[in-house]
Chain A
């Protein structure tokens, strides 16, 4: 990313969308809408002071909704460009309320609430589509109860939990436990607030709320309005404190997730959803299991799959090492159902096809290796560029022209054309660069001929 940001031949138009394209290979005219960020990219240094002070709290999409961000935010810490953006659907100032705290905080004077979208024309010789993919929504598989059992997560959510820069700083806290912690935090806030009010009253009447409340309940102050309010406040304080203490006690017993189950082919190789194999998920699960074991050596992982497809360079060796050194057990079989056991523990029912038995096992957490789904908006995008899609809505290419779309001069690489892993995507990216360069070179030499 840094290389892209710094390269003299690359103009990075982030937070932008293509609106129109005309022309042909060697000579396209493209219209791009640069969406208003309400932050001046040239002035913003990316320091993050504004985001720290922003009073709004929005679920953090980059962390898969685990954790929050402000209305002014940077998508993720190392993002390029390192500028911040104001999200107009949540910003108080942009919604007409009084705020502007970020503008006051910003010492670089980069906040600009007046910024508008800009539409810019581009002349280009070739186009490369690299829009990637989306995660299959596992809630569609009702028997896995993704929405009902908090400790069933997707591989990408798990990735964020494992990440040192993620919402748990790399500790494998279970979502059910995180929810309790969040509840504790919010009750503590409430308790603090009510305590402050109670303190004022305690000072005024020079006795503790507890002492007062006993007397009040004995009927000592039947007509005292001020004291009645105090009593009400104290009662509602107790209504916060009691569950808070109970939750705190509960939280004491929380431990990190140590028994993990990875379920392969969630939405892939499944006739109800995507019949294809998503290719990278077996390695992704193995990697996550190995990393989890590195964090916590007591971790044990089960990986449930039909075939474990570790087909890249060094992959099979990695898989075997995971089994030998990272407590991974590979089970050949498809998981039929996930149910919720005690303590929000998911219970996995599966057929072990090598032992020819249906078994059930309880885990601390279940990770779903979700399918590589064509990205949202791909149909509109394909319509805009006039490129053909395949039957699953990946951008169509052919056997001997693996990065050429159906439109000359428009190329595609990575998971926009089919599921693939990182090395293959990187190699394909170079292929598209080459095909694009061929077009640009040809149109250039033709122009020279015309001039001559």
Chain B
């Protein structure tokens, strides 16, 4: 044991029976007796349930009566119960970080139900280790930081506009940055929207009007974000507009940069004239389809679900079905065939539209990707996978359902904001299932096709959802962060190499020039205390509060001690 602060350490250890969950499988009396022999332990109590009201009161009383200055609870999982015990310590006047938890239920009684002796011995080891660490714990104070209640929304398409309006409706100031000269994004290039066949132009007008009437929203069109400094609550953002660079203080950032439609001459002889993308089809429909076009062939998965772009772009089938119906609406004689692999008409509305299109005479032909369709000057030859033979389709117009792909400047945005992109170049959310609209980095959020291709209904829902996520720090007006974070414990040891900065998944580290040279600086509110930096630092300059090297060494040494 290290010698410092030895004298007045008074540790109370509470050993929970958890009814019979622990007591049924471990020798509790032996555990209690053993714990009393450990260094600095001045009080040991066994509780039926440490977490029950009675148990908590016993802990609080003991802290006061026994003058305890460290508490160890040896019970279940810190995942579920650590916050409760920490708060109880605090209520009894003890700093909440002078608490250590030992899990003898999940790690001993549950996994060693049939081995009472060994399970008890392991519990002794764990308690000894917990006590050794507890002796070295230091009080910590929560970190508080103010939040600028202004939001930056990057991207003025339907998702960004939806977020901006919603946040403004909640009273927050919004800065909306759009790189094009006009808000609306992809919508500006679309004709009608499935499945309602609403006019895309009307929707853009309606949203632009709502934005221009809302005094809380400042719009910069023809503008770009060129620099982002700071962290959640306190970002400084440079926005380059036609008239110069504006530096704006921002609390949270929402990424709504959308996606682009992929096109390539390598695909079925794409030429933008007779062989077009679905996006170009929208323009043809907008202009009014040439009445001479009588035979249209659409090819699904053109450039997706292959080796280069292995993903399914989710919305191309709906777009094809919708455009096929619109073609029939404009040229009622036109024959439209859709060559597909799987028709991805998921959900209620899409499947309804799919059925309606069949009733309207759209032809569906299943093709085998191993024998892709051949596009000839006036026709398409395709092996019909269900008929088992080649068929010949006259084609005045060939429409390729190419995938949505990541924006060309997605990487720039990714680097500016220090947020990741996935293997296909789309932005990578915090958790694919549970945090679809958050980034791992605090204070930066995500919605719309920048994350993954989505239809209008989905994009609107995501725009509202990301606004909700973004509004959480805004409504609190300050951020309270657990102080279990990285600290530069040994300034002299740090060489400013930046290895930790590159590896930090939360953008919580930066290199600063100081009087002592280049040194790492921890942005405390952004740090999550994961410990990657401390583990990486070959100079041992960084440490994690409550998991210092000294504390972990003490735990390991305690483990290696044998009776």
Which A residues contact B (CB, under 8 angstroms)?
2, 6, 42-43, 45, 47-49, 107-108, 269, 275-277, 279, 307-317, 320, 332, 353-354, 356, 390, 392, 394, 399-403, 418-420, 422-424, 426-431, 433-435, 437-438, 441-442, 445
Contact A47 B471 (CB under 8 A): no
Instruction: Pick the contact of B451: A313, A315, A431 (CB < 8 A).
Output: A313
- In the complex with contacts A269-B351, A402-B457, A402-B460, A314-B432 CB distance below 8 A: yes
Contact A317 B311 (CB under 8 A): yes
Instruction: Pick the contact of B461: A49, A310, A314, A403 (CB < 8 A).
Output: A403
CB-nearest residue of chain A relative to B305? A316
Contact A423 B433 (CB under 8 A): yes
Point out the residues of chain A lying under 8 angstroms from B556, CB to CB. Answer: none
CB-nearest residue of chain B relative to A442? B169
Point out the residues of chain B lying under 8 angstroms from A2, CB to CB. Answer: 79-80
Contact A426 B433 (CB under 8 A): yes
- In the complex with contacts A47-B19, A399-B198, A418-B314 CB distance below 8 A: no
- In the complex with contacts A402-B460, A429-B465, A430-B464, A275-B426 CB distance below 8 A: no
Instruction: Pick the contact of B468: A43, A49, A433 (CB < 8 A).
Output: A433
| Besides the known contacts A45-B49, A424-B461, 5 further A-B residue pairs in the complex with CB atoms under 8 A apart | A307-B342, A354-B368, A356-B388, A392-B348, A402-B457
CB distance from A364 to the nearest CB of B (A): 27
Point out the residues of chain A lying under 8 angstroms from B385, CB to CB. Answer: 354
Instruction: Pick the contact of A47: B21, B195, B386, B437 (CB < 8 A).
Output: B21
Complex Cα spacing A308 to B344, Å:
8
- In the complex with contacts A107-B19, A441-B171, A313-B347 CB distance below 8 A: no
Contact A312 B452 (CB under 8 A): yes
Complex Cα spacing A308 to B447, Å:
26
> Chain B, 172-207, contact with A by CB distance < 8 Å: what is the 0/1 string?
000000000000000000000101101000010000
Point out the residues of chain B lying under 8 angstroms from A307, CB to CB. Answer: 342-345
| Subset of 30 A-B contacts with CB under 8 Å | A6-B83, A45-B18, A48-B21, A49-B20, A276-B348, A276-B351, A277-B351, A307-B342, A307-B343, A309-B342, A309-B345, A310-B312, A313-B426, A313-B452, A317-B311, A353-B366, A356-B386, A399-B193, A399-B457, A400-B198, A403-B461, A422-B434, A427-B436, A428-B461, A431-B462, A433-B465, A435-B166, A435-B464, A438-B166, A438-B170
CB distance from B554 to the nearest CB of A (A): 30
B319 in contact (CB, < 8 A): no
Point out the residues of chain A lying under 8 angstroms from B368, CB to CB. Answer: 354
Complex Cα spacing A307 to B317, Å:
12
Contact B314 A311 (CB under 8 A): yes
Point out the residues of chain B lying under 8 angstroms from A420, CB to CB. Answer: 347
- In the complex with contacts A43-B52, A307-B342, A307-B344, A400-B460 CB distance below 8 A: yes
Point out the residues of chain B lying under 8 angstroms from A400, CB to CB. Answer: 198, 203, 456-457, 460
CB distance from B169 to the nearest CB of A (A): 5
CB interface residues, B 434-486, toward A, < 8 Å: 434-437, 447, 451-452, 456-458, 460-462, 464-469, 471, 475
Contact A427 B432 (CB under 8 A): no
B215 in contact (CB, < 8 A): no
Instruction: Pick the contact of B433: A332, A402, A422 (CB < 8 A).
Output: A422
Point out the residues of chain B lying under 8 angstroms from A45, CB to CB. Answer: 18-19, 49, 51-52
Contact B457 A423 (CB under 8 A): no
Complex Cα spacing A277 to B456, Å:
19
CB interface residues, B 374-401, toward A, < 8 Å: 385-388
CB distance from A355 to the nearest CB of B (A): 8
Complex Cα spacing A308 to B317, Å:
13
Point out the residues of chain A lying under 8 angstroms from B347, CB to CB. Answer: 276-277, 279, 418-420
Complex Cα spacing A108 to B55, Å:
11
Contact B469 A430 (CB under 8 A): yes
CB distance from A11 to the nearest CB of B (A): 18
Complex Cα spacing A47 to B341, Å:
53
Point out the residues of chain A lying under 8 angstroms from B169, CB to CB. Answer: 438, 441-442
Point out the residues of chain A lying under 8 angstroms from B311, CB to CB. Answer: 313-314, 316-317
Point out the residues of chain A lying under 8 angstroms from B20, CB to CB. Answer: 47, 49
